[in-house]
Amino acid sequence: MPELPEVEVTRRALSPLVEGRRILDLVHADPARYRDTERAVGRRILGLFRRGKFLLFRLSGGWLLVVHLGMSGGFRLQRTPHTRVVFRLEGQELYFHDPRRFGKFWAVPEAERCRVPLLCRLGPEPWDPAFTAEYLRQRLRSSRRPVKAILMDQAVVAGLGNIYADEALFLAGVRPTRRGTRVTRAEAARIRKAIPRVLEAAIEDGGTTLKDQSYRQVDEAIGYFRLRLSVYGRTGEPCPRCGTPIRRMVIQGRSAHFCPRCQR
């Protein structure tokens, strides 16, 4: 699933293509998945923003077009066999490509953005001043869940998913299975510092394109952060710090990768 870096890379690529343009039509055949999009037609795109893993098209007249990329969604400059929505704009066409069909759109008045329930339950962004080491420590210490599961809870911190939770915990030297109640103040501070560092590096590299090629940038370039992954998807390979083979286990239905020596 595209995580914060992939959504942010998409936002940065789309912004100069869409901002200031009027939406002439949004063509699709799935009104249950792409909800009330006719309400966006005729409106001008005033800005494009990101909140967690959501793209927010701010429209004239006080409306939002909210987009979640799902597991395989992304925007393209050319039509693909998996094009689900055609964006017809003044002087520009874009195509929403989504092989697995988990992406969703909502057109809602900006004042009623809570019609998209998860959007109103998101925690602070990783760069938000409210996302402090003490805030994170309190959220971790209030739960007996494994620390990785807590970090992937969008109500705790917005945008973090499977790949970057693994990478941040490796950088912080904390095993993903550690119970939140057992995370120390020093460990919480290290995790808090590691999260934005990992995300910034991934954004700089265009995100992470894995072997399944499900994520690509708007121009179909791959995301090169895969070449810098320390633990995610590297089961059995040597740890980049100590050489110990990377291990994989399942935590609450999701894979977790870690070094058993560096993350005690």
Instruction: Tell me if residue 3 is catalytic.
Output: yes
Sign of CA dihedral 25, 57, 54, 91: positive
User: Quick count: other Cβ atoms within 10 Å of Cβ 77?
Assistant: 13
Q: Which helix (H) or strand (E) holds 13?
A: helix 4-18
Residue 174 per-residue DSSP state: -
Cβ atoms of residues 21 and 44 within 8 Å: yes
88-92 own/partner pairs: CB under 8 Å, 24+ apart: 88/23, 88/24, 88/25, 88/26, 88/27, 89/18, 89/21, 89/22, 89/23, 89/24, 89/45, 90/21, 90/22, 90/24, 91/21, 92/17, 92/18, 92/21
The DSSP string of 132-153 is -HHHHHHHHHT--SBHHHHHT-
Instruction: Tell me if residue 254 is catalytic.
Output: yes
Q: Which helix (H) or strand (E) holds 163?
A: helix 162-172
Q: Which of 2, 99, 146, 176 is catalytic?
A: 2
Q: Which of 51, 53, 148, 216 is catalytic?
A: 53
Q: Which of 11, 22, 58, 254 is catalytic?
A: 254
Q: Which of 3, 8, 125, 167 is catalytic?
A: 3
What distances in angstroms separate CA 24 from CA 13, 135, 176, 243, 250, one per listed residue?
20, 44, 47, 56, 46
3-class secondary-structure state, position 33: coil
Q: Which two tokens stand for residue 173?
A: 């030297």
Instruction: Tell me if residue 53 is catalytic.
Output: yes
| Residues involved in catalysis | 2-3, 53, 254
